[in-house]
Structure 1
């Protein structure tokens, strides 16, 4: 295996880690409208991710930085051709972070209500757009002989990509509902479990449809295995949620996210951005990669930094592992 193949796998791992962690993070943001009935319950949901949401976004920075350094042509084509949807994601992430920090700074009703609305929309929009973006990456876009994207915004809003957006939105929201059931106590915990059950079958149908379409378009034996794992894990997550096994439900919903992202990358390899104009113009792990020397330096840096990040993030989740409920929210913080 060449280093450019290794770095394709590493970038796939980084994106998988991001979607696993930020998936329930986005889901919690969406649930502030769908699940919470009042301000204390919204505060409970926000507090479940309060200590970790910014750490989850480190995976996005690592994935984007790794793509820039390991596959500069991929990075250039992706971030220039997909400028508007990626800019929308960036703006939402900024607004979302500001909303988390500013929401409780003033007691006025309008102030807090507006920031809560910002959390909802700045979670829902990226949860949808990431599926649209990766749907286009896997299905292919208009790339010319100079490896430049020649399409427009309307080309990115094709049926397959829109189904991908609906898939990530429903899957992340289900993932968030399961996480809310795992991390909360009292009535909101029971309602989170019920909401996860109500969302489960629609999510399962949409995920199955999107992955079958992916398999028919560019799948192979390995991607078929990932498809089976994703669907089976989601069905099992529903079963254990019904049984009240919240820890297992979260683990299985996480397996669904991991297997879904893995299938996308397995379907993509060895390409990194297929061209729908001419397959010879597709970006792949060979023609989009940096020099072997650059990749060797990056590999040593990743080998040193990755364990540190994993240990720190694992410690953070361990420290903040306990459940919380409305009884833990001070009256002044509502």
Structure 2
């Protein structure tokens, strides 16, 4: 296996990790409007992801950086052609991070309500847009012989891509609902399980349509295996949720996310961005990659740094593994640096 093939796999792993981890905290952000009934419950939801959401976004930075260094042509074409959607994602991630930190800085209801709106919309939009983006990448876009995107924004908003966006949004929200059931106690835990059942069934129908369309259009035997794993894991996650097996349900919803992402990359290889204008103009792991020397240096760096990052993040999840509920929300004084993103003790 050549180094550019290795880095294609590594980038696929980074995106998979990002969608698995950031997927559930996007889902929790959406649930602040769908599940929480009052301010204490919204604070509980925010606290379930408070210690980990920023660490989850490291996977996106790593995936973007690895793409830039290992496949500069892919990075350049992707970020120029998808400029507006990716800029919107970036703005949402920035505003979302600010909202987590600033929501609790002032006691006024209007102040906190506005930041809660920001958390909701800046969780919903990136989840949808990532689905649109990856559906377009897999389907192919208008790339000319100069390796430049030749389409328009409207070309990206095709029915297949929009369906992909809905699948990703519904799957992440389901993933967030089973995570909420796993991390909470009391009435909110019970309602999270009920909502997860509804979301899981809706996601299964959307995923069946999207993955069936994908497989019929360009699938092969390998992608069929990934598609079947994704659908079966999703149904099993719904079943585990119905039996109140929250740990199994979360693990299986995670398998669904992993299998869906694997489907995308299995369908791409050896392309990284197929051209719908002429297959000969497609970006591949060969013509879009950096030099072998660059890839070799990156491989040594990744081999040293990546295990350390995974170990540290795993330790973070272990430390903050306990369930929380409204009874754990303390009324802390304002102006003391308290934040809703801090575990258990926070201001209003």
Give the TM-score normalised by the residue count of structure 1: 0.99
Q: Deviations over 1:41-99 (max 9, x none)?
A: 00000000000000000000000000000000000000011000000000000000000
The residue that corresponds to 2:319 in the other structure is 319
Q: Does 1:15 align with 2:12?
A: no
The residue that corresponds to 2:136 in the other structure is 136
Kindly state the Cα deviation for residue 198 of structure 1 after the two structures are TM-superposed.
1.1
Distance 1:209 1:67 in 2: 30
- Contact residue 230 and residue 256 of structure 1 kept, 8 A: yes
Kindly state the Cα deviation for residue 136 of structure 1 after the two structures are TM-superposed.
0.6
The residue that corresponds to 2:255 in the other structure is 255
Q: Does 1:89 align with 2:70?
A: no
The residue that corresponds to 2:28 in the other structure is 28
The residue that corresponds to 1:231 in the other structure is 231
Kindly state the Cα deviation for residue 331 of structure 1 after the two structures are TM-superposed.
2.9
Kindly state the Cα deviation for residue 241 of structure 1 after the two structures are TM-superposed.
0.4
Q: Deviations over 1:280-332 (max 9, x none)?
A: 00000000000011000000000001100000000000000000000011134
Q: Once superposed, which parts of structure 1, at least 4 consecutive aligned residues long, lie more than 4 Å away?
A: none
Q: Does 1:272 align with 2:253?
A: no
Alignment of 1:67-146 (within 5 A): 67-146=67-146
Kindly state the Cα deviation for residue 214 of structure 1 after the two structures are TM-superposed.
1.3
SS in 1 for 2:142: coil
Distance 1:174 1:330 in 2: 28
The residue that corresponds to 2:340 in the other structure is none
Distance 2:320 2:134 in 1: 32
SS in 1 for 2:277: coil
- Contact residue 214 and residue 267 of structure 1 kept, 8 A: no
Distance 2:286 2:218 in 1: 19
- Contact residue 144 and residue 275 of structure 1 kept, 8 A: yes
Kindly state the Cα deviation for residue 218 of structure 1 after the two structures are TM-superposed.
1.9
Distance 1:212 1:310 in 2: 34
The residue that corresponds to 1:46 in the other structure is 46
Distance 2:109 2:9 in 1: 48
Distance 2:129 2:239 in 1: 29
SS in 1 for 2:169: helix
Q: Deviations over 1:163-183 (max 9, x none)?
A: 000000000000000000000
Considering only aligned residues, what root-mean-square deviation do their CA atoms show, in Å? Answer: 0.6
Give the TM-score normalised by the residue count of structure 2: 0.95
Kindly state the Cα deviation for residue 257 of structure 1 after the two structures are TM-superposed.
0.2
Range that drifts further, 214-223 or 85-94? 214-223
Distance 1:315 1:207 in 2: 33
Distance 1:85 1:223 in 2: 27
SS in 2 for 1:313: helix
List alignment gaps of at least 5 residues for structure 1.
none
Distance 1:261 1:197 in 2: 22
Kindly state the Cα deviation for residue 139 of structure 1 after the two structures are TM-superposed.
0.3
Distance 2:303 2:41 in 1: 41
Kindly state the Cα deviation for residue 211 of structure 1 after the two structures are TM-superposed.
1.1
- Contact residue 219 and residue 266 of structure 1 kept, 8 A: no
SS in 1 for 2:11: helix
List alignment gaps of at least 5 residues for structure 2.
333-346
Q: Does 1:173 align with 2:173?
A: yes
Kindly state the Cα deviation for residue 191 of structure 1 after the two structures are TM-superposed.
0.2
Alignment of 1:136-215 (within 5 A): 136-215=136-215
SS in 1 for 2:287: coil
Q: How many residues align?
A: 334
Distance 2:59 2:285 in 1: 21
SS in 2 for 1:331: strand
